[in-house]
Structure 1
Amino acid sequence: MKLVAIKEITGKIILETGLHIGAGDIEMHIGGTDNPVVKHPFTHEPYIPGSSLKGKVRSLLELKSGLISKNEDPRKPLSAKILMKEHLSPEEKQSAEKIIKLFGASADTKTKEDLNLGPTRVSFSDCFLTEKCREKAQKGEIVLTEVKAENSINRITGTAENPRFTERVPAGVEFCFSITLKEFEGDEGLEELLLEGLKLLEYDALGGSGSRGYGRIKFEFDDNELKEKFKKIKAFN
């Protein structure tokens, strides 16, 4: 197996609606929010973890492939062991192999070696604020977080109940993204698959509360050729 290239795909992620990627379990203070967003520990600026991008793109591609129900554990990402199953069609096997090559697999090392899958091809960096957004925030022209009050409605009385305060990064904030893609001899269609996954993410949502309108994003690529290629992608025929 020979490494022939490493491509870097860069650009901006533009928030079209508020984004909430939770910070996990932290101490809550009186008057604070119930659901803070993840922030850099030194600058306290919000950012998008690379793991959030990778996980959502992979999940969407696996959903589109229809292979989740055939995985060893449907609750987890595709395992390399799925390629050992005899009931997969040639198209399903090819799709599974591309996804596993691109994102990696959690199967045991021996299974991966037997199948000659090689290392994970794609790497997602954490996405930090663009310099333009950082400067605007420092000047007080924009805010980097907002608190959205939410509650449930009692359908009998029509009154609001169970108030909850969720922190979001507001629409209009921009982040830089960087994705690296390793190419080995014999690899085919992996860049196209990656771009298809990013297009699916534009159709869907990143982070939590997507069904309530959170997390709608748009990708802008620095490379003009990639930008045009991405525009032409139709994730569904």
Structure 2
Amino acid sequence: MKKDDDMNTNSMKLVDIKEMTGKILLKSGLHIGAGDTEMRIGGTDNPVIKHPHTLEPYIPGSSLKGKTRSLLELQSGLMGMTDGKPLDIKDYRNLEGKDKKRCREIIALFGASGADSEDLKEIGPSRLSFADAPLYDEWKKGAIERNLTFTEVKSENSINRIKGTAENPRFTERVPADTVFSFSIVLKVFEGDDGLEELLLKGLKLLEMDALGGSGSRGYGRIEFQFDDGAVQQRFQDTNPLS
């Protein structure tokens, strides 16, 4: 089996487990839908996802992981060959050179289907785990003391260009700007995993530059990452994700 010059393919030895923790600050309202299609009297058309016990909003780890991956695949230039689907082993087999290396790195970080594939066995298991991001404890305590609500309902509609009247009103629930969440991302490091942590930081920087959740084109979902580790924060700030 052919080796990649930039990654040791013979060893699947786990050498480190790194946890990145910190805060996610909302710079604008955030909407990540609950998938609840049942309309209730007095309810909203589009509620946000909440913890079933506390009814507090949170950011699903799957949302953070999925958007980070999609932005890295978009930046790689490889999304056009997948018809919008995540990069997979069949894509990896058909690539060469730098494109093959980047595809391999993305699959190593985020995983891929095809557990019986020799190529996937060579790349190894997904390195990343994104935890759900709950409300940051100190922010939540202050919000409760100030009687702040954890969500808001925003009214949206379309405008009839001829009549100049509002039509089709829709009420969307979102988490308001200035809310703070806690995040945790775990990165498993195997021998030969050079550059994967830097690629992860690039993906998170792209997410900060873009938007999380729904209605990003209307200004929703602008976020800011603040890492607990000062050295990681500095590396993140110095990251150029488009290089």
TM range (shorter): over 0.9
Are residue 150 (structure 1) and residue 161 (structure 2) matched? no
Task: Report deviation, 1:54.
Answer: 0.1
**1:1-47: CA deviations, max 9, x gaps?**
10000000000000000000000024211221100000000000000
Equivalence map 1:9-88=2 (5 Å): 9-71=20-82, 74-85=83-94, 88=95
Q: Work out the CA distance in 1 between the residues paired with 2:139 and 2:147.
A: 9
> Which AA in structure 1 matches 2:157?
N
Give structure 1 stretches of 5+ with no counterpart: none
Whether contact under 8 Å (1:80, 1:112) holds in the other structure is no
**1:36-61: CA deviations, max 9, x gaps?**
00000000000000000000000000
Q: Work out the CA distance in 1 between the residues paired with 2:222 and 2:152.
A: 16
Are residue 186 (structure 1) and residue 195 (structure 2) matched? no
**1:60-94: CA deviations, max 9, x gaps?**
000011112223xx232111111211xx3401001
TM-score normalised according to structure 2 size = 0.92
Task: Report deviation, 1:133.
Answer: 2.0
**1:93 counterpart residue number:** 100
> Which AA in structure 2 matches 1:190?
L
**1:102 counterpart residue number:** 109
Q: Work out the CA distance in 2 between the residues paired with 1:185 and 1:236.
A: 27
- Secondary structure of the residue aligned to 1:17 is coil
Q: Work out the CA distance in 2 between the residues paired with 1:218 and 1:115.
A: 36
Are residue 159 (structure 1) and residue 168 (structure 2) matched? no
> Which AA in structure 2 matches 1:83?
Y
> Which AA in structure 2 matches 1:80?
I
**1:131-183: CA deviations, max 9, x gaps?**
11221232234221000000000011110000000001000000000000000
Task: Report deviation, 1:214.
Answer: 0.1
Most deviating of 2-11 and 131-140: 131-140
**2:139 counterpart residue number:** 133
Structure 1 residues 162 and 140 mapped into 2: Cα distance closer, same or farther (>3 Å)? same
Provide the aligned C-alpha RMSD in A: 1.2
Most deviating of 26-35 and 54-63: 26-35
Taking every aligned residue pair, what percent have the same amino acid on both sides? 62
Task: Report deviation, 1:112.
Answer: 4.7
Q: Work out the CA distance in 1 between the residues paired with 2:177 and 2:111.
A: 32
> Which AA in structure 1 matches 2:80?
S
Are residue 117 (structure 1) and residue 123 (structure 2) matched? yes
Q: Work out the CA distance in 1 between the residues paired with 2:68 and 2:141.
A: 30
**1:110-131: CA deviations, max 9, x gaps?**
2255650111000000000011
TM-score normalised according to structure 1 size = 0.95
